[in-house]
Chains A and B, each alone.
Chain A
Amino acid sequence: MKKIIYLFSFLLLTFSTTAQNFDIDYEPLQAQGKIPKEIITASTTKYEQNKENITRQDDRKIRKDKDKFYLQSSFVIDEMMRSGRILFNDELSVYVNQVADKLLAHDEKLRKSLNFYVVKSPAVNAFATDRGSIFINIGLLARLEDEAQLAYVLAHEIVHYQKQHNIQTYVEFAKIERQNSYQRSRNYERLVEKNNYSKELEREADDEGLDIFLKSDYNFESILRVFDILDLAHAPYTNKVFSPTFLETPNIKFTSNYLLEQVDKIEPYETDSDESTHPSVSERRGKLLDQLIGKPEGQGQTYLVSEAVFKKVRKIARFELCNLFLQRQAYVPAIYHAYVLLQDHPNNHFLRKIVSKSLYGLAQYRNAERYNEINPYSYKDYQGEIQKVYYLFEKLEDNDLNVLAGFYAWKIHQEFPESKGLELMARDMIEDIVIYQIEEPFEFFKKERVGKLAKADSTFARYGFGDLIDNETIKKWLENGQKYRKKFADNDEYYDSKEGQKEQRKKKRQDRTKGKSLGIEKVTFINPMYVEINARKETAYRFVESEATQKKFKEWIRDNGERLDLNTEILDVNNLSSSTKSIEEYRNLVIMSDWIDEYLTHDMFMINSNYDEAVAIADKQGSDYFAYAGAISYRNYFNTMQMYAGIGYYIFVPPLGVKALIKSSYETLHFNLVFDVRQNKKVLSEVNFANYKGKDMIIRQNLYWSMLQMKREAEAATEE
């Protein structure tokens, strides 16, 4: 049945003319079809199943280590699988599974025990778990040269699963720690010992991976270059020459101070060291070469599934990389990778939006004086043509960067007027030009340069907008910018004064005690979470207890919603089933999780890159409000204050003193953040910290308080 599905998907991929037309647009990847049982099965269930693998043949300490491993890995892997970063049944995952079918055509039993997924990550990596899930990152797929290389990578990962390397590593590391636990000075030696062990397992995976590969019908001639790919993983998959003219317009010209003439050559970084968990690439390449010498060449094929499909999949991965960089605020790589693809697809809507959104992001972070957060390294730390891009944006004056971003935001908004997100970005950007940079825009901006370009005139901000300065909408936004600039300046002055600070404190106190009144009718909770940590235990993170209380947390949300007559919905992976209807909910969950992540990362007013997608979900849900709520319960040994109190108590009331001294310290953090996605802002931020145990009722109480604030209507002005 699986084969029929794959064949159908393969035909669809090869002959479809409506799927991805890269000349026009690109749809970011989304999971498809049925949600794998592996994702929706409770972690506790998987842990219980895995525990059956522990035999009495091992000694007690090893059994205990294995138990801890199964506990931690079940939950940690599931956390990743439910994060929304895992793709399944999409074009890339289907293709990877087809390659795996060809690779393991000789071993059906092994094939049946494995599941392959693609991960939405730009890192050049693949990894395996001991329960048979193998993951390959988009960052790696974008770089591979052919199908045979993909097969070789999969073969390597399959060995990690076959040999159960993860659990072996865990048990061995625990043994190393136990042997040297009292000898602090031997920390480094312990690290080296662990890394040497890891390297041995990697060598085993290389050797036996090659065996699996050679049993297949794949041709081995290109697989040596897999190590070249790994060697240069720090650089982009291409070194296409970057010409900043693609950003220039008749009024925006980069002068020489913005342009880097010479770039550093792309060279490998990696050398084998004691601190590395993998053998050096040169050692691995050399060993593989030795193993291949003497083998007859020209046998097998480079493509067993399809060359056309491989190239399409790789292209999709390259497009997707742009999106991944944008989501991670890696705006410079996003621009460079979009630029590279634009050379072949100059009219692609998606790519042009990526450039505009990235420019917007760069300007926003520059205005907030947080540029170093998104670009912590200098252009000198990079290699290849991408250095020019880093250099350009590092050197661009604030005015110029703002005008460049503003111009492109406006241009893209004009091209795609149906996109509210792009309109808001354009408006925000143009207003910010005045708020942060140019106080008197109507005096500053000129339509065109007058006379010859002066030598010292190295910036283009004054002329960047050209005729657009006469546009009524832009004028209105610039005027708004002036109003806000004045208002912010007045506010700054007021709130710097004693009176202002007093008012701020009063308002803060009032907000805390009275709370807000939002008048919300419906709210959707995204992935409510509950975490229990007990630092007194060896495994501090209480996985099983956390999962159990998380279920209760969701019931409390529903219960409170009923009490308050607040319409609540919960989007949570654990609520989904493997029916096909669930996939839309899953996709909505992924989009909203990404939206929340991005919002919290920005931590300032900035239109999210997936604004339009999030608003579309709000329309479907019938509410603009989404909440992210949870609690963290932490238990430790008693704290210092408690110890002093205990001693004090002991003098007067011994029983209380003893109790204070032996009682452990509890802390509970409860949070509830509510967002209005249409306004792109956070409307409620409840973060309560209490020095007592996260007992059920206390968490419910905090949750109730947050939800009450959502439900109740604002006071009438007269009552205030």
Chain B
Amino acid sequence: MLKHTIYLIIISACCCFTNNINAQSAPGLLGKRITVSYDFNTHFNYSAPNLRINENESALFDNSTFVNKHLFGVDYVLSRTMSIGIDYGFHNERLNDVEIQDNDFMHRVRTNETGLRLKVFPFEKGGIAPIGYYFQVRALRYSYRSEMELVPRGSSTLEEPFVFAFEDGVTYTGAFGFGRQGILFGNVMYNVGSEMTLVLTENAFLNLYDASLDLRNSLIIGNLFKLKIGIAVPIY
């Protein structure tokens, strides 16, 4: 239901705002209206993982003070004050280690998100899309998968890692953010800003195991406030 509601909102927004596409041409960046971007998002690691196993595990799974997310996007300038775009992001994070029945497990979560975003560059701030201060709304499909990997104790070893899926889910949600896009050099733009995403998982607050709580913290609280910095290049 929520999914359908969000789809409806997105389509309505497109209909309202994209009547400009065929009518008057927007300036873009000296005529170039399509940009590709990469944003590096980071937020404080509220999970504060208490790692007992392999503390120095590969950086593929973040376990540091800040958790980082990578977001790739393509935007299209609709008008002087607006651009619309799609993006794809992912992050991998290590949560607190878990002990279940005298066994140690490494708890990890992988997320990815696909979103549709609308950036508005208020006239009063003097910018012209895609340059200037903006605020942004995103509708996204957020999926997560957490898994546990058994770590044998003592000297016993396993022929292959034993991994099982703990929790996974998909949620449709929204995000709000603001920032500023400017010119770094030549035609390359920079983007700095922040974003707040509301992630509600289907089983929120029902599963009270510590691992679940950990996951909730990571997904919900972790996404509440992120800082971002990125670059973008106009291509057409």
Residues of A within 8 A of B (CB): 509, 512-515, 517, 560, 563-564, 668, 688-692, 695-698, 700-702, 704-705, 708, 712, 715, 719
B24 lies within 8 A of A513 (CB): no
Known: A690-B127, A695-B183. 9 other contacts (CB 8 A): A513-B80, A514-B20, A690-B125, A692-B126, A696-B183, A698-B131, A701-B27, A704-B27, A705-B128
User: Which residues of A sit under 8 angstroms from B187, Cβ to Cβ?
Assistant: 697
What are the 8 A-B residue pairs with the smallest beta carbon separation, nearest first? Answer: A690-B126, A697-B183, A705-B27, A512-B123, A513-B81, A704-B30, A705-B128, A708-B27
Residue in chain B with minimal CB distance to A705: B27
User: Which residues of A sit under 8 angstroms from B222, Cβ to Cβ?
Assistant: none
Q: How far is the CB of B118 from chain A (nearest CB, A)?
A: 14
A513 lies within 8 A of B131 (CB): no
A692 lies within 8 A of B182 (CB): yes
Report which of A514, A695, A701, A715 forms a contact with B30, defined as CB distance below 8 A: A701
A691 to B187, CA, bound (A): 21
Report which of A509, A514, A698 forms a contact with B79, defined as CB distance below 8 A: A514
User: Which residues of B sit under 8 angstroms from A719, Cβ to Cβ?
Assistant: 22-23
A701 lies within 8 A of B80 (CB): no
A512 to B24, CA, bound (A): 14
Task: Mark contacts of B127-145 with chain A using CB atoms, 8 A cut-off: 1 yes-contact digit, 0 otherwise.
Answer: 1100110000000000000
Q: A513-B79, A514-B79, A690-B125 are in contact. Are A715 and B131 (CB under 8 A)?
A: no
Residue in chain A with minimal CB distance to B130: A701
B31 lies within 8 A of chain A by Cβ = yes
A688 to B126, CA, bound (A): 6
User: Which residues of B sit under 8 angstroms from A513, Cβ to Cβ?
Assistant: 79-81, 123
Residue in chain A with minimal CB distance to B132: A690
A698 to B187, CA, bound (A): 11
Q: A560-B30, A564-B31, A701-B29 are in contact. Are A515 and B80 (CB under 8 A)?
A: yes
B125 lies within 8 A of A701 (CB): no
A455 to B212, CA, bound (A): 102
A212 to B127, CA, bound (A): 61
User: Which residues of B sit under 8 angstroms from A708, Cβ to Cβ?
Assistant: 25, 27, 31
User: Which residues of B sit under 8 angstroms from A702, Cβ to Cβ?
Assistant: 128
A512 to B81, CA, bound (A): 9
A690 to B31, CA, bound (A): 20
A698 to B182, CA, bound (A): 8
Q: How far is the CB of B135 from chain A (nearest CB, A)?
A: 15
Report which of A512, A692, A704 forms a contact with B31, defined as CB distance below 8 A: A704
A689 to B133, CA, bound (A): 13
In chain B, positions 75-128 with a C-beta closer than 8 Å to chain A are: 79-81, 123, 125-128
Q: How far is the CB of A21 from chain B (nearest CB, A)?
A: 54
23 A-B contacts, Cβ less than 8 Å apart?
Answer: A509-B123, A513-B81, A513-B123, A514-B20, A514-B79, A515-B24, A560-B30, A563-B30, A563-B31, A668-B126, A688-B126, A689-B126, A690-B126, A692-B126, A692-B132, A692-B180, A696-B183, A697-B131, A697-B187, A704-B31, A708-B27, A712-B25, A715-B24
Residue in chain A with minimal CB distance to B126: A690
A692 to B131, CA, bound (A): 11
A513 to B77, CA, bound (A): 13
User: Which residues of B sit under 8 angstroms from A689, Cβ to Cβ?
Assistant: 126
A698 lies within 8 A of B80 (CB): no
B30 lies within 8 A of A700 (CB): yes
A514 to B24, CA, bound (A): 8
User: Which residues of B sit under 8 angstroms from A692, Cβ to Cβ?
Assistant: 126, 132, 180, 182
A513 to B121, CA, bound (A): 10
Q: How far is the CB of A659 from chain B (nearest CB, A)?
A: 11
User: Which residues of A sit under 8 angstroms from B183, Cβ to Cβ?
Assistant: 695-698
Q: How far is the CB of A340 from chain B (nearest CB, A)?
A: 52
Report which of A512, A515, A563, A701 forms a contact with B131, defined as CB distance below 8 A: A701
Q: How far is the CB of A422 from chain B (nearest CB, A)?
A: 39
Q: How far is the CB of B123 from chain A (nearest CB, A)?
A: 5
Residue in chain A with minimal CB distance to B25: A712
Q: How far is the CB of B130 from chain A (nearest CB, A)?
A: 9
A719 to B24, CA, bound (A): 10
A570 to B51, CA, bound (A): 68
Q: How far is the CB of B195 from chain A (nearest CB, A)?
A: 15
Q: How far is the CB of A562 from chain B (nearest CB, A)?
A: 11
A697 to B25, CA, bound (A): 20
Q: How far is the CB of B174 from chain A (nearest CB, A)?
A: 23
A668 to B25, CA, bound (A): 25
Residue in chain B with minimal CB distance to A508: B123
User: Which residues of B sit under 8 angstroms from A515, Cβ to Cβ?
Assistant: 24, 80
Report which of A517, A691, A704 forms a contact with B125, defined as CB distance below 8 A: A691
Residue in chain B with minimal CB distance to A714: B24
Q: How far is the CB of B226 from chain A (nearest CB, A)?
A: 13
Residue in chain B with minimal CB distance to A668: B126
User: Which residues of B sit under 8 angstroms from A690, Cβ to Cβ?
Assistant: 125-127, 132
Q: A690-B127, A690-B132 are in contact. Are A517 and B31 (CB under 8 A)?
A: no
Q: How far is the CB of A199 from chain B (nearest CB, A)?
A: 49
A517 lies within 8 A of B131 (CB): no
Q: How far is the CB of A696 from chain B (nearest CB, A)?
A: 8
Q: How far is the CB of A166 from chain B (nearest CB, A)?
A: 40
A704 to B27, CA, bound (A): 7
Q: How far is the CB of B169 from chain A (nearest CB, A)?
A: 31
User: Which residues of B sit under 8 angstroms from A688, Cβ to Cβ?
Assistant: 126, 128
Report which of B31, B80, B126, B131 forms a contact with A691, defined as CB distance below 8 A: B126
A690 to B126, CA, bound (A): 4
User: Which residues of B sit under 8 angstroms from A704, Cβ to Cβ?
Assistant: 27, 30-31
A402 to B140, CA, bound (A): 67
User: Which residues of A sit under 8 angstroms from B132, Cβ to Cβ?
Assistant: 690, 692
Q: How far is the CB of A641 from chain B (nearest CB, A)?
A: 13
User: Which residues of B sit under 8 angstroms from A563, Cβ to Cβ?
Assistant: 30-31
User: Which residues of A sit under 8 angstroms from B25, Cβ to Cβ?
Assistant: 708, 712
B128 lies within 8 A of A715 (CB): no
Residue in chain A with minimal CB distance to B19: A719
Task: Mark contacts of B169-207 with chain A using CB atoms, 8 A cut-off: 1 yes-contact digit, 0 otherwise.
Answer: 000000000001011000100000000000000000000
B182 lies within 8 A of A705 (CB): no
Task: Mark contacts of B11-22 with chain A using CB atoms, 8 A cut-off: 1 yes-contact digit, 0 otherwise.
Answer: 000000000101
Q: How far is the CB of A155 from chain B (nearest CB, A)?
A: 54
